[in-house]
Structure 1
Amino acid sequence: MTVAAVSLILSVPAGASAKTTTVESYPVSSGVTYSHYTHAGTNHVNHLQVNLNDPYTKLSVGLPSPLAKTDATTNLANRDSKDGNRVVGAVNASFFDMKSGLPIYLISQGNEIVNGGAISSSPDYYVSQPIAFGVMKDGRAEIDHFNFNVSINHGGTDYKMTGLNRERQAGETIVFTPQYLSKNTNSNEFGIEIVVDTGSPITSTYYGQQLTGNVVKVRDYGSKEKVEIPSTGFVISAHGERALERLKGIKQGDSVSLSITIDDKWKDSEFMLASGPMLLKDGKPNITMNTSNWRAKAMTARTAIAISKDKKQVHLVTVDSRNGYSSGMTLTQFANYLASQGYDRALNFDGGGSTTMGIRKHGSNTVVLGNRTTNSSQRKVSAIVEAVSTAPVSDPAVISVSRGQVGEVLVGATVPLTLNYVLDAYYNPLKADSSVVEVTSEKGKLKGAGMGYTALEAGDDRVSVTYGAASQSFPVKVVDAPAKLTISPSTSKIDPGSTVSFKVNATDAQGKPIIYSPEQVQWGVTGNIGTISSSGVFKASSVPGSGKVTASLGTKTVSVSIDLSDGTSAFKDIPADHAYYTEIRYLKDHGYIKGDIDGKFNPGQTLSREHAAVILSRVFNVDTTNAGAQKFSDVPSTHRYYNEINAIANAGLVGGSDGKFNPTGQLTRAQMAAILVKAYELKGESTKKFKDVPPTHWAYKQIHILANHGITTGNEKGNFEPNKPVNRAQFSAFLYRSMTK
């Protein structure tokens, strides 16, 4: 199987709405594809497409054991996953009682009835009509009405029961068989209970079952005696005036028969799950509940199962509801969305906090959470629908490797590779052995070197990485020099005896970094001005002089002029060994900062907003000669920095609040972050977050963009202290790093 035949990126299914954008899509098995979409810009939708035409693909129902013991969707899926029966995706299924943990509606596997279920009498509830999803005996999926009937016969008269093996409610007549979760019926005293013994063990309860026995006991109305369900019989439990009137003639010793039936189309089905409401029929919205009811109108998370017209394509669909991430949908919106995807029929499953999708990711057999649940953790549920792969483990067909760096490679540099995973033709993960990996070059300009490759000569080439029959390749361009090479800092004035760490920035013609090894940079010094180490650390001579620091990378050499001054510091209170000497000296040499009239910089003094405005006006060389009309009520035209404040405000670098600038107010570290991110158009947030900057903080994004660019690292406790005033030295450092990043 070629790599092209198992492409990991798939297009949006035919019929998908133009409002739907694919975030990611890939096969999790030979017959199941997982996709994540955004819809209408406000919702995140997760989707498992299950192809029942695939010989190695099936659907099954996952249930807790015992039935009342709920569990998380991914836990149930992983419990059921094993060789030859790999669960590759799952969603929460039908509704359940939050108190007892039991499913509310009919569930069966084969003809075996797992849960008798109920149907609501009011269309204000989700399930007021008997509708189920199932896989029929011919292997096709179905969503349709069903007719489930439990009845008894006494003296030639049939009496229809209202339920099977579930708690008796008001006005109901329930039949309990030995497969009930308890040995006793646990019905209250406000009814009668009739115990029937057939004389033979009843080992299952199933569709088509016919049982006949004799009444061995009648518990009268008002009795609190617990009634035990015989292993060889069943119990009829009745409540309500009508039921009591109908059954009052049944006496001890009478013959009573029990009949359990379902429509022929549902008999012998692989499984069926009752739920509701129906959402689609014949490709159009068809909601079988009152859509003006609050349950239907709620904007919440939703889960549904849908089928194609030929009943061989099944779609498990969830839409998330999480603050700031996904808004959720009403039932009408959900039905409209499903119709826009081209599905033929769809049935609603439990939603809200229960909405969960689990998926198998490449390289692992573990089912993990695929969507974002409404709560921080998965809700435990009573039933799930599982997409299962029965495919055998086969030979390698897919290999995934990643490069430590991507870009043009300098001759002599080595690029490491990471082996992510190896899959067989059915996307089953194989145990990966990096020693089996072969790295080859198409044109010989590169050479495989273990889990990596080394550039030998300039030119275009292609690297192939193989693992048995599995292969991955990618183009590589080798260069003998970067298109652009610069040295930073670019300062030319250095105090005698001081130390400066120089670095190079090597990029291609588009400004993207090229790949090289640090030891490939050759540093040098011209003139009797000091020495420089192989890592770029320059130690200035103790006597004044001038010269250059040079850096060579490949065939390109650049230099920066060095002028050793007469020993005077940047400011009286900023000696050469000051932590921020280079940064402050750079800003002073370029005329961005002036210091105080006493010749000092006072690095620990907090920076006012007006002084920050003045510095920024110099850095960005804004026109301060035409400041225009007054912008802030607290900065009149007579203010000493009126021109500078108005100029940078006009440039969009700073703003005010309620029409005021607060010029003498202290500039906070958060405000500084916002200014620098906007001014230098910085992008991309750091994945590592500061402990004291919650997502709700107004400058959360800007602070973590600074961190992503290495402009700030926070303190040793992992804090940024966003509301703390920034001092002059800190501002100088942040500004310098932003300018020279």
Structure 2
Amino acid sequence: MIWTAPTNTLAKDNPVKSYPVSSGVTYSQYANSTTNYINHLAVNLGDPYTKLAIGLPSPIAKTATTTAQANRDSRDGNRVVGAVNASFFDMKSGLPMYLISQGNDIINGGVISKSPNYYVSQPIAFGVTQDGLAEIDTFNLGVHVGYKGQNYQVTGLNRERQNDETIIFTPQYNGKHTNSNEFGIEMVIDTGQPITNTQYGQQLTGKVVKVRDYGSKEKLEIPATGFVLSVHGAKGLERFKGMNVGDEVSLSLSIDDKWMNSQFMLASGPMLLKDGKPHITMNTSDWRASTSTARTAIAISKDKKQVHLVTVDNVKGYSKGMTLTQFANYLAAQGYDRAINFDGGGSTAMGIRNYGSNTVVLANRTTAAERKVSAIIEAISTAPVSEPAHLNVSRNQVGTMLVGATTSLTINYLLDAYYNPLVVDNSQLLITSENGKLAATGLSYSALTAGEDRVTVQYGNAKQSFPVTIVNEPAKLTISPTTTKVKPGATVAFKANATDAQGKPIIYSPEQVKWSVTGDIGTITQSGSFKAVNKSGQGTVTVTLGTKTASIPISLTDGTPAFTDIPADYAYYTEISFLKDLGYIQGDLDGKFNPGNTLSREHAAVILSRVFNLDTAVAGGQKFTDVPATHRYFNEINAIASANLVGGKGDGTFDPAGQLTRAQMAAILVKAYNLSGESTKKFNDVPTSHWAYKQIHILAHNGVTTGNEKGNFDPNKPVNRAQFSAFLYRSINR
């Protein structure tokens, strides 16, 4: 049955990984848009150190996983670097179902199905021929019995007899007895010479020494010096029912010339490609072909020097598998010339040798645990172990280094020119600094001075290098946790967060971090463990790393509300408590702070006069036309004006009862705290034409404000009492 399908709907492969596992074998994994993962071993038979072979269980009926068989066969000079499952096999007996031969020795006789609904309904095999080239083609296995001048082709060799079959059993059969049922006849032929193998080109002649008649249940033993002719069905019985003890019988075994003396051949099916086009030799409507499942195939190039072992996975949520038509189309799209299907589904497995190890491990994802299978195809490297050529080193920490910091390396693998793993002797490892800003000891290196450098790791001729940036201090240093409320007597584990200019963590040694405490609030260890005293208080925790320091204010409070409406879990509890404890703010007569109420300009003046400890007893002359001497906050407003902390509106007024906007607040704080600088981050709603553009961005530069999640500052909105407390707190503690 020949079926073709269009290739214009094929999904494009996206490489996941690809690397050589030996000088002639490359492993690749691909993902495509149809949610399939494909594993691929490309084998170059033109490479002098590369070959393919069959891996077989021992004994032949004892199945084993693909990786187990590959590792069993791997040794110095014959390193299995990749493998796939190959032969279909009987799940009950474990025996392979189709023809397998090595050299001319026939390992398994096999059977060909009469129905195109089965995978192997035509005699097609993959192998490597006598000239060392790959082949996928038909074969003609000749098993002929000569008797009374006639030459008869029989149906099989060294396998269980089925209906209407004539089978030959030689001493190489997997068992001492034929175990055929009584519905047939069997004749034992003795050649007089030990038969040590069963192979193509073999000619045997002997005489019948025993006949087991139809209906007999005798368990017939296969002689070491002969063979057994086992017959079932009318046609066979008609030919051989007259055979008697003493009759001469011959056996001849043959194969097509192209397969004679081949390195190996393994029958399978169906064929998937021929001459670069889909060519499926089975009924593609049958469920075996139309089911999307895991698949295994082998393909070859037109010059027969390139062999491709291919698997597609079928794991829920990972890879959907393919129908045989999809698989054939996929293989055709890769440009292969011929391809044949191997056992798939739960048997699909691909093993590879990973760098740094000679152990073959599973490369694909199987539907369950890796299944024990029959014959496998092995990609083998015969390359000798040579000098170091490939070195792979990883840094245990990657990033900008602080002067004085030390970090280390890990040797992931060392390979020779043929990708064979080598044992690493650390004493042979050389680590050098290009600019002398680093010093190496063993597998560690330390930063000596700030600047740019490059580290080179060398082992023989194998090298790897990487750049290193060294700084005197982090670009940014912060302390976490950021909460500044601590209960008296409590312990807090503080941590320094040091980053470079790109916001990535820098490398430093723990002993480089220096912690300190100011104020009678407690003690801190050099690991950052802060122990608070058993009383309320205010203070600061400071960390120093390199030449940079960072501090956070600490307020020791037992968790009682700052005001009746400011509980300990309020968002701005720390800020409001801090200002209250220092006497900068006071609540209303009812004991509330009313954090959501907007703040008037006069109240801001009062608070600032307290913060800067201004002398409000000396009023002086009237400074603003709308703030007469009779105004309740005349002294406070005059005091902050005299201190040049806050100015009027330009028309001689102060507008004491007016709401303080966020822009006005920015201008007041920038002036009061003499802030400078300008944030690189610009607010969307503060154009350069805005009167407070400069002050707002100075405030942002100093970390007093960050704006909202939309990137806006809302300059014209009135500021409420809680917000003003937060801004003032940050300004004081910046």
Does residue 131 of structure 1 match 2:124? yes
Spell out the pairing of 1:183-222 with structure 2 (5 A cutoff): 183-222=176-215
Q: 2:401 is matched with which residue?
A: 409
The separation in 2 between residues aligned to 1:422 and 1:16, in whole angstroms, is 43
Q: 2:493 is matched with which residue?
A: 501
The alpha carbon displacement at 1:378 in A equals 1.3
Contact 2:11 2:34 in 1 (8 A): no
The separation in 1 between residues aligned to 2:571 and 2:399, in whole angstroms, is 31
The alpha carbon displacement at 1:16 in A equals 14
3-state SS, counterpart of residue 456 of structure 2: strand
The alpha carbon displacement at 1:17 in A equals 7.4
Does residue 421 of structure 1 match 2:413? yes
Deviation string 1:425-474 (CA, Å, 9 cap, x unpaired) is 11111112223222111111111121121111122211111112211111
Contact 2:555 2:574 in 1 (8 A): no
The separation in 2 between residues aligned to 1:388 and 1:404, in whole angstroms, is 34
3-state SS, counterpart of residue 239 of structure 2: helix
Q: 1:520 is matched with which residue?
A: 512
Q: 2:18 is matched with which residue?
A: 25
3-state SS, counterpart of residue 143 of structure 1: strand
Does residue 279 of structure 1 match 2:272? yes
Q: 2:438 is matched with which residue?
A: 446
Q: 1:371 is matched with which residue?
A: 364
Does residue 305 of structure 1 match 2:305? no
AA aligned to 2:31 is: T
AA aligned to 1:369 is: L
Q: 2:673 is matched with which residue?
A: none
The alpha carbon displacement at 1:586 in A equals 6.8
What is the RMSD computed on CA atoms of the aligned residues? 2.3
Q: 2:474 is matched with which residue?
A: 482
The alpha carbon displacement at 1:409 in A equals 1.1
AA aligned to 1:345 is: R
Contact 1:353 1:374 in 2 (8 A): yes
Q: 2:47 is matched with which residue?
A: 54
2:283 to 267, 278, 290: 290
AA aligned to 1:502 is: F
Aligned residues: 568
Distance 1:53 1:569, change over 3 A: farther
Does residue 251 of structure 1 match 2:244? yes
AA aligned to 1:458 is: A
2:391 to 384, 394, 399: 399
Does residue 346 of structure 1 match 2:339? yes
AA aligned to 2:483 is: T
Distance 1:366 1:568, change over 3 A: closer
Q: 2:147 is matched with which residue?
A: 154
Q: 1:547 is matched with which residue?
A: 539
The separation in 2 between residues aligned to 1:495 and 1:269, in whole angstroms, is 85
Contact 1:363 1:429 in 2 (8 A): yes
3-state SS, counterpart of residue 430 of structure 1: coil
Contact 1:463 1:475 in 2 (8 A): yes
Greater mean deviation of Cα atoms: 21-30 or 169-178: 21-30
The separation in 1 between residues aligned to 2:572 and 2:345, in whole angstroms, is 56
Q: 2:230 is matched with which residue?
A: 237
3-state SS, counterpart of residue 267 of structure 2: strand
The separation in 2 between residues aligned to 1:47 and 1:590, in whole angstroms, is 63
3-state SS, counterpart of residue 279 of structure 1: strand
The separation in 1 between residues aligned to 2:494 and 2:520, in whole angstroms, is 18
Q: 1:269 is matched with which residue?
A: 262
AA aligned to 1:235 is: V
The separation in 1 between residues aligned to 2:212 and 2:483, in whole angstroms, is 99
Distance 1:154 1:469, change over 3 A: same
AA aligned to 1:171 is: D
Greater mean deviation of Cα atoms: 81-90 or 509-518: 509-518
The separation in 2 between residues aligned to 1:130 and 1:181, in whole angstroms, is 22
AA aligned to 1:141 is: A
Distance 1:590 1:352, change over 3 A: farther
Contact 2:39 2:310 in 1 (8 A): yes
Does residue 88 of structure 1 match 2:70? no
Q: 1:465 is matched with which residue?
A: 457
Contact 1:16 1:340 in 2 (8 A): no
Spell out the pairing of 1:311-350 with structure 2 (5 A cutoff): 311-350=304-343
Spell out the pairing of 1:341-740 with structure 2 (5 A cutoff): 341-375=334-368, 377-565=369-557, 567-569=558-560, 589=574
The alpha carbon displacement at 1:173 in A equals 0.4
Q: Which runs of 4+ in 1 moved over 6 A?
A: 15-18
Distance 1:492 1:183, change over 3 A: closer
3-state SS, counterpart of residue 28 of structure 1: strand
The alpha carbon displacement at 1:501 in A equals 2.1
3-state SS, counterpart of residue 411 of structure 2: strand
The separation in 1 between residues aligned to 2:58 and 2:9, in whole angstroms, is 39
The separation in 2 between residues aligned to 1:17 and 1:165, in whole angstroms, is 43
Q: 2:701 is matched with which residue?
A: none
Distance 1:498 1:526, change over 3 A: same
Distance 1:189 1:564, change over 3 A: closer
3-state SS, counterpart of residue 64 of structure 2: coil
3-state SS, counterpart of residue 22 of structure 2: coil
AA aligned to 2:141 is: F
Deviation string 1:241-277 (CA, Å, 9 cap, x unpaired) is 1111122233322222111110000000000000000
TM-score w.r.t. structure 1 length? Answer: 0.74
AA aligned to 1:363 is: G
The alpha carbon displacement at 1:571 in A equals 10
Contact 2:10 2:329 in 1 (8 A): no
Distance 1:90 1:492, change over 3 A: same
Q: 2:605 is matched with which residue?
A: none
The separation in 2 between residues aligned to 1:108 and 1:37, in whole angstroms, is 33
Contact 2:144 2:153 in 1 (8 A): yes
State the structure with more CA Rg: 2
The separation in 1 between residues aligned to 2:485 and 2:77, in whole angstroms, is 72
Greater mean deviation of Cα atoms: 479-488 or 300-309: 479-488
The separation in 2 between residues aligned to 1:570 and 1:178, in whole angstroms, is 96
The separation in 2 between residues aligned to 1:47 and 1:571, in whole angstroms, is 69
Deviation string 1:128-152 (CA, Å, 9 cap, x unpaired) is 0000000111111111111111111
Distance 1:252 1:296, change over 3 A: same
AA aligned to 1:74 is: T
The separation in 2 between residues aligned to 1:172 and 1:478, in whole angstroms, is 81
Q: 1:71 is matched with which residue?
A: 64
Q: Percent identity?
A: 70
The separation in 2 between residues aligned to 1:516 and 1:548, in whole angstroms, is 24
Distance 1:298 1:588, change over 3 A: farther
AA aligned to 1:332 is: T
Q: 1:117 is matched with which residue?
A: 110
AA aligned to 2:169 is: F
The separation in 1 between residues aligned to 2:520 and 2:337, in whole angstroms, is 83
The separation in 1 between residues aligned to 2:208 and 2:333, in whole angstroms, is 56
Distance 1:570 1:122, change over 3 A: farther
3-state SS, counterpart of residue 23 of structure 2: coil
